[in-house]
A and B are shown apart, each in its own frame.
Chain A
Amino acid sequence: MVRESNIIQIIGETEYARLRKIRCLLVGAGGIGSELLKDLILMNFGEISVVDLDTIDLSNLNRQFLFRQKDIKKSKSSVAVKAVEHCNNSKLQAYQGNIMDTKEFPLHWFDQFDILFNALDNLAARRYVNKISQFLKKPLIESGTAGFDGYIQPIIPGQSECFDCTSKETPKTYPVCTIRSTPSQPVHCVVWAKDFLFNQLFNDLSEGEGQEGETSKDWGSDDVDEIKRIQEESQELKELQDIVRSGDMKRVTRMLEKLFVEDIAKLLKIENLWKNGRTKPVALAKENLEGEYDETLLLSVDQVGTLEEQIAEFINSSKRLMKRLIGAEANAQGIEFDKDDEDTLRFVSSASNIRSLIFGIPVQSIFDIKKIAGNIIPAVASTNGIIAGLSSLISLRVLQLLPETKDKGVLDINMAFTSKASNISNDRYLSNPKLARPNCKCVVCSRVLRGVVKMSDDGLKEITLGGLVEELRGKYDFPEDISLMDTQDQRLLIDYDFDDLQGKTLGEMGLKEGSVLLFSDEMDEDQIRKPIELYLSMGQERLVLPDLPAEYIEGQTPVREEEEPSEISANADANDGVIILDDDLPEDNQLGDKRPLDSGDDADRKRVKIGDNDDGDDDDDNDDVIELD
């Protein structure tokens, strides 16, 4: 008996020989990724490349079992690959990088793999790899966990639903007025403290008046007085910004007076707000502000402090932040909220709790506020183990390596999500619906044709936009009226009444490896050609266009306008008023619809944040990142 004997018993000699040649891409070496790497090497897959951008954090160690205390701050992918050396029989390669970086990972790089495994923690990267899988027609095993919930979804391009065929949970947003005038839940106060107060005081150091861009926001109220007051309040923050930047510690109590006495009094004057029996806020009393406070107080993280303690925490953390702000380097950039930065967390926690006490809302411990403010998703080893096991197991069916299911089609393959642990069912541990056909309305896989254009550097320098359009029209037999768009920035390059740029070369237009062009039929007909999305991939040949079928769709349905909802955090400016939070897990148990957005796989680093684009410890630098959509 040898190492291979078990797997050979299961898949057979011939399939085992194929398995040894399979090249896997594993995107993510966090919670699911660690487990998946273990499973894939024990199964003896030929080659596994692991990509992760992150470094190891203490809070990873409860589940990311390839990492130890001594590995903290090191690259996840390379530590993971080293940690499996003792039992590895596959060719392994570790990359520390962002999978969406087209310089490091151009499209042709993905072409070397036979199968892609997503073990990701954020929607943007999931969508990106899904698109790559669609462009290259590579099978993708998508997966995710959040707490006890988890799912896997095998995606076979053209044959089964893609990641974007079903709509994803949209993040929770709160109207401005709820946050600024009428909070009723702890989360409202946390959002106020973090996105409004903290940001304005310590992070946004641009000079001048209140920065609220006051147009087109979700106010959640049409009370003129209320909106006017919110706008005034933003202007008045200037005074507090000056205090913070003055470094004059004696003026900290003035902040308390402004925020928790004066602003509340002004709010109470807007009578409409308190008409419907809504509990009125009670401003802090004078003695609260003037009393002695404990200058050394540090609440323990699981403690729910008294008002006095919250005030002491507020004053102490404000002072520490002010000191840091005086420090030369911080002054230029301000201080970003980071859930793992004690001072910022304690400031937000105490400010939020004081506001809660004023509005009669339950006070929370620092531990609980950290979860809301840092958008932490619970995560545990066992769920990740189960989901990674399912993901690696189903790959055998996707790659047609299981003799028992050789003659079964793609739509006989199962996806799976947790059922018992998610309190959906008492008589099944997993739900396992069969894969569905692609959704014909999906703008990612069905409403558009996809292909890869190969082009050399010379081609880029010589071919003009007009020349390219002629080539495309000829190759795909498109009519006279067309449009060509650069999807990266939704920039129109050419259409039937805009030809100013047709003499420019593709290079001059800034097109390069990873650019995605959308070529559309703009005729005013009932039936028009299905739009074609073309990925620009640099190679040796001057210009090679892909062979694509001629498909038609009904006219007058502008495809691009129906684009999936804009990227969750992309537009969520901290000052934007609409505050975004990830919602709790979906509670419905509709087959196939239960897709928690996040994965327990280091969910803390996800990019969907309250207001902020980033959660501070995410070292993901997006400079070179091109999003396909």
Chain B
Amino acid sequence: MNNENKLSSDEIALYDRQIRLWGMAAQARMRSTQVLLIGIGAIGQEIAKNIVLSGIGQLTLLDDRILTEEDLGSQFFVSKNEVSMKRLEAAGPRIADLNPRVTLHVDTDKLRAKNDEYFSKFDLIVGTELIPADASWLNDATRRLNIPLYITGSNGLSAYCFIDLIQFDSQDTKLQSQIPTKLGKVSKNRTITNIEIKEDSNNNDKKQEIITTRHIYKSFSELLKTFTFEGLHRRQIKRMSNMVPLTLALLTIPEELNNEQLTIDQLKEYTLKVCNQGGLLKDILRDESIEQMVRQRNIEFSPVAAIMGGAVAQDVINILGKKQSPLNNFIVFDGITLDMPIYEL
């Protein structure tokens, strides 16, 4: 760490409790990063709160929507008398106030008005509540520019996140157990490429392994085209939350159907296609779940936003600072059972 990157004593005091989690070097690294967060609804606000508090360098919020009455039921940083203002004009100042050390930019342009030059400034991009076409469009740009991308959204009691870090080498340190870790493929998208053995400074009898894992990712459109649940244990498939195929169905359904008029039968049809492609058992699908998904489609709910927003922010902070094993590459949260599986699709 050179002197420019050294934390001041004020910063050490403010960030004390989290520096103890990820160390001073990671905290200092985060200070020089720039993040773009698209969409400042319920999940967007949760992510913004968490990463502003963490002390990243600069955060840009991009959202062109108008604040509605309905937003008041799930978004914390807005107020009744701001309804019909730009959402960002309402929420921006309250988010900025969370941590004066972070530079916050607000941008009320449309996403599609942005180009590669705009995106290329950022170290990482998070897109929330995007329609699948926009998510794919954005992901094409981040792939061209080699920028990590998170796509997240919620449907009432359930939520999802797609992660594309393109290729990412993580480092995890763990105590060596009886059976030493081996090099090689550990799962569909992860391969251990290096293991370094270190003495444990606090305990001479034990050794630590510094494990480098290479994570590979797929683009959003490729994932939707090629996903399969092959390789999962039969029990995992049998017990899979209905929200998993239903979420994928909402992401693959043609845009012209994905609106207020979407019927239970239509969603069912696409969910069956998902089951077919993914190798899932059709009999796990329950009509109540399909009905729930149709009713709660695109509805924001504060606890669910807090959970998924927390998970996304934590991973963002992790890859900007500490570089421990990141999420790979699709998570779904089921708010009834609290199931939150991570799939490498």
Query: Which residues in A have some Cβ–Cβ distance to B below 8 Å?
Result: 1-7, 9-10, 35, 38-39, 42-44, 58-59, 61-63, 65, 68-69, 84, 86-87, 147-148, 185-186, 300-302, 362, 367, 371, 376-386, 388-390, 392-394, 397, 402, 404-405, 414, 416, 420-421, 423, 426-430, 432, 600, 603-604
A420 touches B17 (CB 8 A): no
Query: Which residues in B have some Cβ–Cβ distance to A below 8 Å?
Result: 7, 9, 12-21, 24, 46, 49-50, 53-55, 68-70, 72-80, 94, 97-100, 156-157, 172, 174, 187, 190, 201-203, 288, 292, 295-296, 299-307, 309-311, 313-314, 317, 325, 327, 331, 333, 335-343
CA A301 to CA B97, docked complex, whole Å: 28
* CB-CB nearest 7 A-B residue pairs: A389-B306, A386-B310, A385-B310, A42-B302, A393-B303, A389-B307, A429-B340
Q: A42-B302, A61-B14, A389-B304 are contacts. A381–B49 as well, Cβ < 8 Å?
A: yes
CA A371 to CA B24, docked complex, whole Å: 14
CA A600 to CA B53, docked complex, whole Å: 15
B174 touches A414 (CB 8 A): no
Q: A301-B9, A378-B18 are contacts. A385–B50 as well, Cβ < 8 Å?
A: yes
B9 touches A300 (CB 8 A): yes
A420 touches B18 (CB 8 A): no
Nearest neighbor of B68 in chain A, beta-carbon distance: A1
Nearest neighbor of B157 in chain A, beta-carbon distance: A10
Q: A1-B70, A9-B299, A385-B46 are contacts. A62–B310 as well, Cβ < 8 Å?
A: no
CA A340 to CA B91, docked complex, whole Å: 35
Nearest neighbor of B289 in chain A, beta-carbon distance: A404
CA A360 to CA B203, docked complex, whole Å: 13
B residues near A68, Cβ cutoff 8 Å: 97
A residues near B20, Cβ cutoff 8 Å: 147, 371, 376, 378
A302 touches B24 (CB 8 A): yes
B46 touches A62 (CB 8 A): no
B21 touches A10 (CB 8 A): no
B306 touches A379 (CB 8 A): no
A392 touches B303 (CB 8 A): yes
- Closest Cβ–Cβ distance, residue A378 to chain B (whole Å): 4
9 contacts between A and B (CB under 8 A): A1-B69, A6-B74, A7-B73, A147-B20, A302-B12, A381-B49, A381-B313, A383-B314, A388-B303
A residues near B94, Cβ cutoff 8 Å: 86
CA A144 to CA B156, docked complex, whole Å: 25
CA A429 to CA B159, docked complex, whole Å: 13
CA A302 to CA B6, docked complex, whole Å: 10
CA A147 to CA B300, docked complex, whole Å: 27
B24 touches A380 (CB 8 A): no
A426 touches B325 (CB 8 A): yes
Which of B9, B18, B317 has the most chain A CB within a 10 Å cutoff? B18
Which of B20, B24, B306, B343 has the most chain A CB within a 10 Å cutoff? B306
CA A9 to CA B154, docked complex, whole Å: 14
Which of B49, B73, B79, B295 has the most chain A CB within a 10 Å cutoff? B73
B18 touches A63 (CB 8 A): yes
Which of A389, A426, A427 has the most chain B CB within a 10 Å cutoff? A389
B339 touches A432 (CB 8 A): yes
A residues near B295, Cβ cutoff 8 Å: 9
B17 touches A42 (CB 8 A): no
Nearest neighbor of B339 in chain A, beta-carbon distance: A432
